[in-house]
Amino acid sequence: MRVLVISDIHANYTALEAALIDGGEVDETWCLGDLVGYGPDPNEVVEKVRDIKNLTYLLGNHDVAVIGRMPLETFNGEARRSLLHHGKVLTASNKEFMRALPSNTTVRGEATLAHGSPRDPLWEYILNSLTARLNFEHFDTPWCFVGHSHIQCMFALDEEQDRVSLEKVKPDVPIILRRKLILNPGSVGQPRDRDPRAAYAIYDTTACTWTPRRVEYNIAEVQQRIRAAGLPEKHAIRIAEGW
């Protein structure tokens, strides 16, 4: 089975469309959260995701905030401004769709899915090997797929040496899944690893591989819509630079 793994779309419709086209034919799509926040297209993104067949979806922290399950004060000023705007423009039907989705971890075959981390699904960022090490104890499957940090990366547990390492991943170079791993497909709509291209991954359950992917999209067009909507300028600048 070929699975498209996407995360952190953040209301960037152009990036989502590019990733879906580039991903090609898939049997399932697993989305690790954050449809909204930051970008200009919350309704378009939710509607596009609603149309995806065989979808597994987890809510992210921005999603939970926009449907009123988390106080907006937990977000910094600029992130909060976008969420306030999204809360106003999202249609009732799109909010209803989001309210029906889970915000906890989910197990799909050999993978545990979480937005942030398996031990703290909504909030914890796995950015270093220490945090990763603590999280390896919180899932029973061989792999765990997480989003939230917007960084395409992989953490590996060496059980013999009891060591956790952050390993580099390269776009289009498949990783053969062997050891216990935490994998992050990166962010579709707001990458923060200095590569502004939309990030996602293809998980092949038969070949047992994970292939990180990047695809270019029309960033200028999205920046224009961010500015036209009166959203913070910072959100326009960062998508062009990948931070």
Residue ranges binding Zn ion (CB under 5 A): 8, 34
Q: How far is the CB of 208 from Zn ion (least distance, A)?
A: 28
* CA pseudo-torsion sign 201, 187, 92, 224: negative
The strand order across the sheet containing 111-114 reads 106-108, 111-114, 143-146, 180-184, 153-158, 163-167
In the complex with Zn ion, the residue whose CB is nearer, 164 or 183, is 183
d(CA 15, CA 20): 9
Q: How far is the CB of 147 from Zn ion (least distance, A)?
A: 7
Q: How far is the CB of 135 from Zn ion (least distance, A)?
A: 18
Q: How far is the CB of 28 from Zn ion (least distance, A)?
A: 22
C-alpha closest to that of 225 among 31, 45, 96, 61: 45
In the complex with Zn ion, the residue whose CB is nearer, 34 or 193, is 34
Chain centre to alpha carbon of residue 137: 22
C-alpha closest to that of 176 among 128, 208, 201, 205: 208
In the complex with Zn ion, the residue whose CB is nearer, 36 or 157, is 36
In the complex with Zn ion, the residue whose CB is nearer, 147 or 177, is 147
Judge contact between 3 and 30, C-beta under 8 A: yes
Q: How far is the CB of 174 from Zn ion (least distance, A)?
A: 25
d(CA 27, CA 35): 21
Chain centre to alpha carbon of residue 145: 10
In the complex with Zn ion, the residue whose CB is nearer, 42 or 177, is 42
Q: How far is the CB of 10 from Zn ion (least distance, A)?
A: 6
Angle (nearest 5°) at CA 206 between 203 and 211: 25
In the complex with Zn ion, the residue whose CB is nearer, 8 or 17, is 8
